[in-house]
Amino acid sequence: MKDLAQTNTSAPWAEVGKPHPHESAVLHVCGTANYTDDLPELQGTLHAALGLSTQAHAKINNINLDAVRAADGVVAVYTAKDFPGTNECGPIIKDDPILANGKVEYVGQPVFVVVAHSHDHARRAARLGKIDYETLTPILHPRAARDAESYVLPPMSLSRGDAQQALEKAPNRIRGSWQVGGQEQFYLEGQIAYAIPKEANGMAVMCSTQHPSEMQHIVAHALAIPSHSVQVECRRMGGGFGGKESQSGLWAAAAALCAFHLKRPIKLRADRDDDMMVTGKRHEFHYEYDVAYDEQGLILGARFEMVSRAGFSADLSGPVATRAVCHVDNTYYLSNVDIRAMCGKTNTQSNTAFRGFGGPQGAILIEYVIDEIARLLGQDALDVRKLNFYGRNDAEGRNVTHYGQKVADNIIHELVAEIEASSSYRARRLAINEFNAQSPILKKGLALTPHKFGIAFNVTHLNQAGALVHVYLDGSVLVNHGGTEMGQGLNTKVAQVVAHELGVPLSQVRVSATDTTKIANTSATAASTGADLNGKAAQDAARQIRERLSEFAVKTYGGNVADVRFSDGQIYCNGSGIAFEEVVNKAYFARVQLWSDGFYATPHLQWDSKTMTGSPFSYYAYGAAVSEVIVDTLTGEWKLLRADALYDAGNSLNPAIDVGQVEGAFIQGMGWLTTEELVWNANGKLTTHAPSTYKIPAISDCPEDFRVRLFKNTNVADSIHRSKAVGEPPLLLPFSVFFAIRDAIASVADGKINPPLTAPATSEAILRAVTAVQTL
């Protein structure tokens, strides 16, 4: 049917493009928003806890659980042999057991699950298991994994041009190594699953997860039942950040296993320490680089090697490494490049998705290299960045990425110019130089960093979504889609899209819990695609209802279908406005279908994983930030004084939510690069497994002067209302914080020496870098 585009000139953006509050904001503030642990417990509910390995790498000779079974309140204990189906939760490669079977591969790996009458009883009993181990030699560091050629996947490589020749003939060449640490997702709501047995061996699982369909598959395989017998539901999460994409599977499957055997509801809730000990984090990356450049700082050729800490299994390490390879260019054209990426197998937690999904780890490497080059040439790093930007059009010949995708919508030149001016970057640079010349202890630093981030799943088939829209006789609308709400405002945006499509106030639209019995075969809410995919699917469903109502209205009131408008709760037809609910009621009695399903698949995507070439992204989201810091060179303490961020959200669906997402991503990314340090001891135990030892940013770490704006732009891709994703890309904006700290440290030697500062730039790391600069 013909697409009936909205034509109401008085309200062309009736409900999208407005700064509506989050749909659950009032519930959040009042404490009445229900999370999985808030659901009323059914009669007979029992509680489970996991028994964890104390060895990093060992064979299991014997498991003695007599003391566990005899503990107060214990009902049952289960191990790997008790799965009716497959003891496996690996999302891609089946190398990740739900419960360890014959061998453990990291400290904290679940070995058994105990069920008791209370959460406390279960946790206490889980500590009583006695396991006889035969210790094996662990690999605990990514570089050690590389040296031993210990990988969870074969190494990958991508090249363009002749990097070796460019390196050999270049007037300047820089070599070095560097590293960035991992990061704990630290969602406020920990991992949790509530499994409820149903008739005919069915299983319902209420789960805090970004990927209900994956949980459905894992539970079905574990229990050896068909997928249609498993229902997974998630109303909302208290944060996910990627940590609940694949790794919620272990918790869902363990709870379902207990419920399956006992025929009673089972709740498995992880305490913070257990959660951090069991689950994977952002991948730590180690780099080797060799870069050629000319006297102005133009990069002529580069060779990059990246080794990630994958942990003991593959999980999502392959796609993470792929995205890192695709984002190592960031906003810069690399004519001759050779990139190699390895996923090091280590006897630590199996690392997984985290906001940015390898993109930040790839992009920050080129930013580090440019920062090095600029200081060696005595130039402002911003000028070197501008020199290396992608071209704006085909005539410049610098607008195709190293993996073969054309950068068709490059607005980084204009965006950076705007924030350079609005932040008074040049004037502040001069003022900071004057301050540092007169201040021997306290040093200020300033940096402006850009980003370009590809939007879509690297795996093409995942770029699809479905939705259901129901219109009721009172004019209210219910929407269900395959995305999950983790606080990012997805449901709010989808509701806005549907309200706009039907011309009704947002208050008339409600989004229900994500449920595998309503929308099947969904993709994870990840890769910043939530609003893009589910918004389009919901729009498709609502459009079909609008078209039916338009045809009915013309039959009833006269006029032409092309002239029918939906706006402000009215349907305008043949010169008159009729209340939406009135038309709906009449349509019902005329037997017009008032519900519809919608579907969307992102077009024009293609990717060859063997050659690592193609067009894997629908479009690019751009941004830039300027950060000013002050560093105490005696203590390593620092403070972010001011941050300016400019983000390209296209035609924003909801500016208020998008600005909030940019602010949150900025602070989270700043934590990754400054305060959040993961530490394993010599025995492979994670020692930073609680808020007492792992430091996420607090309110006092936020700058008092924090200026976030959205860049005025329209997406060249046919995204939902020409908006752009805003989930992951802004996490790259706080690169500017790290390089501002590095700039401040460099001023100790008048900016002539490159400080050996690793990330996270903790106070200890800052002091080491200051000492190095002072002694060189």
Angle at 316 between CA 311 and CA 322, to 5 degrees: 105
- 3-state DSSP helix/strand/coil % of the chain, to nearest 5: 35, 25, 40
Q: Are the C-beta atoms of 451 and 410 separated by less than 8 Å?
A: no
Q: Is 32 exposed, middle or buried (0-12, 13-18, 19+ CB in 10 A)?
A: exposed
Number of other CB atoms surrounding residue 682 within 10 Å: 8
Task: Dig out the tokens for 448 from the structure.
Answer: 């402006």
Handedness of CA 93, 99, 103, 108 (dihedral sign): positive
Q: Are the C-beta atoms of 417 and 450 separated by less than 8 Å?
A: no
Among 313, 345, 282, 349, CA closest to 96: 313
Measure Cα distances from 560 to 81, 418, 563, 567, 571 in Å.
Answer: 67, 46, 5, 17, 13
Radius of gyration of the chain (CA): 27
Among 620, 726, 624, CA closest to 665: 726
Bridge-partner residues for 49, per DSSP?
A: 114
Tell me the C-alpha distance between 469 and 135, whole Å.
Answer: 56
Q: Which amino acid is at 455?
A: I
**Which positions are catalytic?**
728
Dihedrals φ, ψ of 285, to 5°?
Answer: -125, 140
List of residues 6+ apart from 221 with CB closer than 8 A: 85, 86, 88
In the block, tokens 């914080």 appear at 737
